[in-house]
């Protein structure tokens, strides 16, 4: 009976810490989506329903990191408090192993693993592609948002644009434009200028300074015209919404990965499984660290959880590199083995 009461008590304390950390980490990861919304506002591509959709999908996609982090924080905070208040010592004096609460938390972690397996293998690829596609499509509501510094932009049919410098109000520096007009290929170069979008006429408008335009016609004659100021308007195709995006490896469905059967595809499957079992590892590690830490500072636990997670991700990258070199995905489990051993050492330390 005492053990059951203690398990109920530990479970309640763990859930309280879990919910608190879920709110905190959910807020932290939502900031990325907020910054995207700010970018849409600045670039004039703010469309409420699309932006809300992007925000929600970005937040849900972050569950792959939020859920493991909450398990790490909750277990560390719980065992730090129990060790600091000598509750683990009291358990030992009553004949109950001070590590019995770990098995209680492992039950919670098991359900977390089941959720993440379904989420990472089936839901996350769809959400990742949908999020990237929505961001890509929303940019075409204002083609100016496609312009990027020191990048060749060729998403709009008939025109290719390169800009070395772009200010927030679309003042441009070192502009190169190649476009097709009446069967001719024209090249336009300018030292500076500005860009705008005429929504009524559906035109990209460039007001350029100090440059030249080279016109090459069908009979291979070339003409060059120097200018001090030049206004260039390029009509965007009506209804144009961009090219169809190809799925990245991380966005491929499980069936497609398994059917391809290549090394990269097998590594991707193992990565998704590894990310799913992290709650079990983090509960073990968090319990060991909490018992030795004996600090009840929430900020310390949050910072420690973030640091450990970043370290785990670095070892994931190392495991992926080793897997690619060895030609087998088995090294993707390297961080799992390392952190399990570390957690066991912390638990056994006197």
Within the chain, where are the H helices?
2-43, 48-61, 63-84, 87-93, 100-118, 124-139, 254-260, 263-293, 298-326, 334-348
Strand order of the sheet with strand 222-235? 152-153, 159-166, 171-181, 184-198, 203-216, 222-235
Q: What is the pLDDT at residue 201?
A: 79
Total residue count of the chain as it appears in this document: 350
Question: pTM here?
Answer: 0.73
Q: What is the pLDDT at residue 112?
A: 94
Q: What is the C-alpha separation between 180 and 160, in angstroms, rounded?
A: 9
Collapse the DSSP code of 32 into the 3-class scheme (helix H, G, I; strand E, B; otherwise coil) and give the result.
helix
Q: What percentage of the chain has pLDDT greater than the value 90?
A: 45
For 166, how many CA atoms within 13 A lie in the half-sphere containing its CB?
19
- What would you report as the CA-atom Rg of the chain, rounded to the nearest whole angstrom? 28
Most confident of 30-44, 102-116, 172-186, 230-244: 102-116
Residue 234's Cα: distance from chain center in Å? Answer: 35
Q: What is the C-alpha separation between 76 and 301, in angstroms, rounded?
A: 7
Task: Taking residues 313-338, report their average pLDDT.
Answer: 95
Q: How would DSSP label each residue in 132-165?
A: HHHHHHHHTTSGGGG--BT-EE--STTEEEEEEE
> Residue 1 — pLDDT band, cuts 50, 70, 90?
very low
Q: What is the pLDDT at residue 82?
A: 86
Task: Taking residues 153-177, report their average pLDDT.
Answer: 88
- Residue reference for tokens 């398994």: 258
pLDDT higher than 60, residue 302: yes
Least Cα distance to 69 among 23, 117, 122, 127 occurs for 23
**Long-range pairs for 338-344: beta carbons < 8 A, 24 or more residues apart:** 339/281, 339/282, 339/285, 339/312, 339/315, 340/281, 340/284, 342/285, 342/288, 343/281, 343/284, 343/285, 343/287, 343/288, 344/284, 344/288
pLDDT digits (tens, 9 = 90+) for 215-269: 876 566 678 889 999 999 988 876 555 555 678 899 999 999 999 889 999 999 9
Q: How far is CA 286 from CA 85, 210, 220, 280, in A?
A: 17, 63, 72, 10
């Amino acid at each position: 009976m005492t053990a059951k009461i203690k398990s109920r008590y530990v479970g309640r304390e763990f859930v309280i810490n879990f919910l608190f950390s879920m709110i905190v980490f959910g807020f932290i990861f939502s900031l990325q989506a907020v910054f995207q919304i700010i970018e849409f506002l600045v670039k004039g591509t703010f469309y409420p329903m699309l932006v809300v959709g992007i925000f929600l999908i970005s937040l849900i996609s972050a569950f792959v990191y939020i859920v493991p982090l909450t398990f790490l924080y909750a277990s560390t905070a719980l065992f730090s408090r129990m060790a600091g208040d000598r509750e683990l010592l009291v358990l030992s004096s009553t004949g109950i192993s001070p590590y019995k609460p770990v098995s209680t938390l492992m039950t919670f972690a098991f359900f977390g693993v089941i959720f993440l397996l379904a989420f990472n293998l089936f839901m996350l690829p769809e959400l990742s592609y949908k999020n990237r596609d929505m961001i890509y499509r929303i940019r075409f509501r204002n083609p100016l948002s496609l312009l990027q510094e020191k990048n060749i932009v060729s998403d709009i049919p008939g025109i290719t644009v390169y800009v070395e410098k772009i200010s927030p109000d679309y003042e441009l520096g070192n502009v190169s434009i190649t476009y097709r007009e009446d069967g001719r290929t024209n090249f336009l170069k300018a030292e500076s200028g500005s860009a705008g979008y005429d929504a009524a006429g559906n035109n990209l408008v460039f007001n350029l300074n100090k440059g030249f335009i080279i016109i090459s016609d069908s009979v291979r004659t070339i003409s060059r015209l120097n200018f001090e100021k030049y206004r260039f308007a390029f009509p965007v195709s009506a209804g144009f919404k961009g090219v169809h995006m190809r799925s990245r490896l991380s966005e491929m469905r499980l069936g497609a990965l398994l059917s391809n059967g290549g090394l990269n595809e097998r590594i991707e499957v193992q990565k998704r499984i590894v990310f799913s079992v992290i709650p079990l590892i983090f509960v073990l590690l968090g319990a060991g660290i909490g018992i030795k830490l004996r600090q009840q500072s929430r900020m310390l636990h949050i910072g420690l959880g973030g640091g450990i997670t970043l370290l785990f991700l670095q070892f994931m990258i190392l495991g992926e590199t080793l897997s690619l070199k060895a030609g087998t995905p088995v090294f993707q489990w390297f961080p799992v083995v390392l952190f399990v051993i570390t957690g066991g050492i912390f638990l056994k330390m006197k």
